[in-house]
Structure 1
Amino acid sequence: MEVTAFLKGIGLGGSLIVAIGSQNAYLLRQALKREFVFTCIAICIVCDVVLIAAGVAGMGQLITEAPSLLFWIKIAGAAFLFWYGLRAARSALNPSAMSATENNTAPDRRTVIAAMLAFSLLNPHVYLDTVVLLGSIGGQQAGNGRLYFALGAMLASTIWFSSLGLGARYLTPIFSRPGAWRVLDGIIALVMWVLAVSLFL
């Protein structure tokens, strides 16, 4: 039973986290630029682990019973996503070349940490996926199954974020061309705006 719950956690956790979102997009961009990659990976993993643990422990039910909390998270999240979308769009329209190895205009560590935390915690979908959905399913597991389900979902997050952050270096030859960066920033801008609008649909 424990093995089944563990595999179920890996499968469901992995299927939810692989979807393209603001958190993954920002991590990918930082990884391609090679700016504080391990810091970003660690933040993503820690946030997911904490949220999954909270959900399985019963916080998911608390959130579903407090719609006003989700409303204000949506407001803050939409504003942040729209603002970052504007930044990405401006980068896409900037004719100057970008390089994955250039760090002349690299932000400081505190700025990156703040942005990564915002992408990880200001998106209501994160709470709906990790806390509510995973929490509700994990909470239904019998006995130690709840613990193994949570561990499986946490492992899926760890593998995904590590692979995305560390594997992006293999795409460096593609992003040595300014056109590839413009396409990536354009896609990121659209993702951010779509997510911002979807929060209220």
Structure 2
Amino acid sequence: MEPFLHGIILAFGLILPLGVQNVFVFNQGATHKKFTNALPAVFTAGVCDTILISLAVAGVSIIILSFEWLWTFIFLVGFIFLVYMGLLMWRDTAEVKDHQESNSFSAKRQILFAASVSLLNPHAILDTIGVIGTSSLVYTGYEKWIFTIACIVVSWIWFFALAIIGKKIGQVDANGILLKRMNQLSALIIWGIAVYMGAQLFLNLI
């Protein structure tokens, strides 16, 4: 029971803060008329988190990130992508007319963007490795499996909840004004994280 509770509390504490991944999943729930249309983003985010958590617990990710050039590359690609994604979010008016979706991300686009904000986010990777990966070292055998599963379950539940909450907010915004402001706020958050990442990259290079 202790590994399970530890995994739940730890994962929830890491995933709760407002980050790019959470913003994107919430946004997809809000901008799609049907909840099922936002599932590609939810499933992709869940799968990516499952991979990152599993690699962190297995210790593989620590070995990969021991290469400085790889870490710099991830920061650079992540910075460029977040700037681009913020631009798309800002331009998206998210208007809803005659119960039809406008400017919504297709399933393919959702998968691409959700995977990118999950796997090209250095801070999310660091949290997974530094916190979940390190915390798992106190467990062995089946207890480590229980701890890992608890972290993964929390991640999946959280992404479904974000999309559902987003959908509910989207339903009460018939004219699309609230969704437009939400998209612009999402863009500002994404750009803010991109600037921080760019600053970290610059400091690492000098």
User: Which TM class, normalised by the smaller chain length?
Assistant: 0.7 to 0.9
Contact between 1:81 and 1:196, CA under 8 Å: does it hold in 2? Answer: yes
Q: CA 1:155–1:77 in 2, change beyond 3 Å: closer, same or farther?
A: same
User: For residue 27 of structure 1, what is the aligned residue in structure 2?
Assistant: 25
Residues 7-47 of structure 1 deviation map (CA, whole Å, 9 limit, x = unaligned)? 11111111111111111111111111227311111111111
RMSD: 2.0
| 1:1-201 paired onto structure 2 within 5 Å | 3-34=1-32, 36-91=37-92, 98-99=95-96, 101-199=99-197, 200-201=199-200
Does the 8 Å contact 2:95/2:102 carry over to 1? Answer: no
CA apart distance, 1:99? 2.1
Q: Quote how far apart the aligned CAs of 1:90 are.
A: 2.8
Q: TM-score, normalised by structure 1?
A: 0.87
1:188 and 1:106 map into 2 onto residues whose CA distance is: 15
The Cα of 1:64 is off from its aligned counterpart by 4.4
- The letter for the 2-side match of 1:68 is W
- Are the counterparts in 2 of residues 60 and 133 from structure 1 also a CA contact under 8 Å? no
Alignment deviations for residues 150-185 of structure 1 (CA, whole Å, 9 cap, x no partner): 111111101101111223222124432333123212
The answer for unaligned runs of 5 or more in structure 1 is none
Partners of 2:25 and 2:100 in 1: CA distance: 17
TM-score with structure 2 length normalisation?
0.85
CA contact (8 A) 2:27 2:163 kept: no
**Number of paired residues?**
195
C-alpha spacing 1:108/1:186, structure 2 compared with 1 (3 Å) = closer
Deviation for aligned residue 1:74: 0.7
Any stretches of 5+ residues in structure 2 without a counterpart?
A: 201-206
Amino acid across the alignment from 1:134: I
Q: Distance in 1 between matches of 2:170 and 2:90?
A: 21
Q: Which runs of 4+ in 1 moved over 4 A?
A: none
1:104 Cα deviation (Å)? 4.3
Q: 2:203 maps to which residue? A: none
